[in-house]
Amino acid sequence: MTPDIQIRALDASDAQAFRTLRLEALAGSPEAFGASYEEDEALPLETIRTRLSSHPNAVFGAFAGDTLVGMAGFAVYDRVKARHKGVLWGVYVKPEWRGHHVGKRLVQRVIDHAARHVIMVEAAVGLTNDGARRTYHALGFQPYGIQRKALRVGDTFYDEELLFLDLPQPAED
């Protein structure tokens, strides 16, 4: 059965829920994320509130009732010559909610949002992360390379597949 999940953009008032889920993600799947648990644990809540209010950057959350059970982030490159590109980051679904297309819906929301602001979205995914790779490929992301030893967790190195998704030129406001 498809669970009743609502997806919406997070805002500053979601900072604590975001922080809790983000730390769960970093603790449970350290090889899937560029950030470490320790780095994010040290972030002041105010910094998270600011990040959640930095349009057009955005984090989309999947809610089961009032509970945040998944999320996916989008960030635009800062530098002038790269502002036509964005990055998909921080895709995570709580283990008990996986397998119901929550991840797919979250990434699709990022794509829909990104299409209003950039002409390309980049992503990086662990080479052995079948779930995330399948999700991204199904939504149109194309692999363009492999970064060897992209991440190091303890003594283990992880290779990542690099992906891009072309988007139509956004209309001028």
Ligand X SMILES: CC(C)(COP(=O)(O)OP(=O)(O)OC[C@H]1O[C@@H](n2cnc3c(N)ncnc32)[C@H](O)[C@@H]1OP(=O)(O)O)[C@@H](O)C(=O)NCCC(=O)NCCS
Contacts with ligand X, residue ranges (CB under 6 A): 29, 32, 91-93, 98-104, 125, 129-132, 134-135, 138
- CB atoms under 10 Å from CB of 28, counted, come to 12
Tell me how far, at minimum, the Cβ of 87 lies from ligand X, in Å.
11
| Of residues 76 and 132, the one with the C-beta less far from ligand X | 132
| Of residues 57 and 135, the one with the C-beta less far from ligand X | 135
Residue 44: partners with Cβ closer than 8 Å, 6 or more residues away: none
Sheet holding 58-64, edge to edge: 6-9, 58-64, 67-76, 85-93, 120-126, 156-166, 142-153
| Of residues 53 and 129, the one with the C-beta less far from ligand X | 129
Tell me how far, at minimum, the Cβ of 62 lies from ligand X, in Å.
8
Tell me how far, at minimum, the Cβ of 81 lies from ligand X, in Å.
26
| Of residues 12 and 23, the one with the C-beta less far from ligand X | 23
